[in-house]
Amino acid sequence: MRSEALLLYFTLLKIARAGFPEDSEPISISHGNYTKQYPAFVGHKPGRNNTQRHKLDIQLIIIMNRTLYIAARDHIYTLDTDTANSEEIFFSKKLTWKSRQADVDTCRMKGKHKDECHNFIKVLLQQNDDTLFVCGTNAFNPSCRTYKMDTMELLGEEISGMARCPYDAKHSNIALFADGKLYSATVTDFLAIDAVIYRSLGDSPTLRTVKHDSKCLKEPYFVQAVNYGDFIYFFYREIAMEYNTMGKVVFPRVARVCKNDRGGSQRVLEKQWTSFLKTRLNCSIPGDSHFYFNILQAVTDVIHINGRDVVMATFSTPYNSIPGSAVCAYDMAEVANAFMGRFKEQKSPDSTWTPVPEDKVPKPRPGCCAGTSSLEKYKVSNEFPDDTLNFIKQHPLMDEAVPSIANRPWFLKTMVRYRLTRISVDNAAGPYRNHTVVFLGSEKGIILKFLAKMNSGFLNDSLFLEELNVYNPEKCVFH
């Protein structure tokens, strides 16, 4: 571990001597002593005795219809974003969903600590105009419910959260609704061995990735999912199977599935994706030897900037090395192009991974959506020939990585002792809604704010407006 950190240090030193970009400096800095006056949310309702504190264990923070939803342990809080707060932020509604005692007892019997045997809310989505879809870990027995948005009234029956929600609050997961169907990425078992990308609910067949197949998913950490065009795109990081001779190397990935996928035939990929493909995301500093930021931390939704549909993402160095972070942007057209490139294969367990010759790729091309203009002959995916289905089952990895816009990071932060872990973009900021503002958040509670200037090229000459230290241990640390 120490040797890896030293190796990274000397690599950074070498790149720095060759022209490693210096960290930008903000126009303004707001220190913790100033931001202490900012109001904070600690789980209280107005008009009550506010000396009592409870451990919140916040899992998600989402804005829907100008209401802020905070998903936490055993509770969901709603806050009105139009309400001014001076000293403390209060919730307007609180939904309580605690695990049944029988589930808690089973959780404890399986060896889990009492603090783990709660209902941590890990999925909170707007299912339609007036319905919330909520899933929680439920003391390691994940479950899902629907609630009426305006009253928080329970609707219908509770359903299983398996493959929709993780068992453990520490495990990553993502979920979204598209065309009435739930797309989720999580683990399906108590031991977190079976990672899955899954579709359920709605009027389409339930589908999943191939079970226990490291070519498909290998210890993934799921970050984001977006609905774009004919596909759902999943952003995550995982152990790179194509670099297995070098130990555990983590790569950032983007995978996609067709929204109209109905699974394979009874012979191949039945009840499994016929369109699942993945490739690497490249966020690196160019040079004689590229310096890669491989730990994908956060990804935005698709945003329209300067005539392009893009996603922006934060990356960092590994946690056992010197801290360093980068922000890279990706054109969705380039993401789509990567999935139309060459496939990658390993011909034997000991051989290196190489591109698949084009004449070895079957027709119709694996990974394309049934019923599209190039595949009019095949109306549904279970009509695909076995050659196509077997090929994509054995070759889910693409050869070429998705390049970042301008082939370099948009922003770097390497001379600090923290990593950037969050990103949010407002591309309709200002009184005339014609500015793009980028916010970056760190693991230390520091927020960086940028005004993106669009005059010449993509996000060129952006202004680093402000650095705010908003973490207040007096209010935020639970004793």
Which of 236, 405, 235 is closest to 308 using CA atoms?
405
Look at residue 2 and give its three-state secondary structure.
Answer: helix
DSSP per residue over 313-332, as a string? Answer: EEEE--TTS---EEEEEEEH
416-433 confidence digits (pLDDT tens): 889 999 999 998 888 988
Question: Confidence band (pLDDT; 50, 70, 90) for 33?
Answer: confident
Range of lowest pLDDT (19-28, 177-186, 287-296): 19-28
- Confidence band, pLDDT 50/70/90 cuts, at residue 50: low
Q: What is the mean pLDDT of the chain?
A: 90
- CB 406, CB 412: distance < 8 Å: no
From the list 187, 466, 440, the residue with the least C-alpha distance to 316 is: 440
Q: Which pLDDT belongs to residue 21?
A: 65
Q: Which residues contact 207 (CB under 8 A, 6 or more apart)?
A: 198, 199, 257, 261, 262, 263, 271, 272, 273
Report whether pLDDT(478) > 90: no
**Least confident residue range of 20-24, 91-95, 404-408:** 20-24
In the numeric block, which tokens belong to residue 227? 């609905």
- 12 half-sphere exposure, CB direction, 13 A CA radius: 18
pLDDT over 90 at 288, yes or no: no
pLDDT at 18 over 50: no
pLDDT (mean) for 432-456: 88
Q: What letter would DSSP give residue 112?
A: -
Cα–Cα distance for residue pair 129/179, rounded to 1 Å? 13
Q: Which domains does the chain have, with CATH numbers?
A: 55-414 (2.130.10.10)
pLDDT value, residue 273: 98
What pLDDT does residue 439 have? 96
Least confident among 100-104, 189-193, 243-247, 431-435: 243-247
* Of residues 324, 318, 310, 298, the one with CA closest to residue 411: 324
- 293 pLDDT above the threshold of 90: yes
Residue 346: Cβ-neighbour burial (10 angstroms; 0-12, 13-18, 19+): middle
- Give the pLDDT band of residue 457 (cuts 50, 70, 90): low
* Alpha-carbon span 34 to 462, nearest angstrom: 26
Based on the number of CB atoms within 10 Å of its own CB, is 231 exposed (0-12), middle (13-18) or buried (19 or more)? Answer: buried
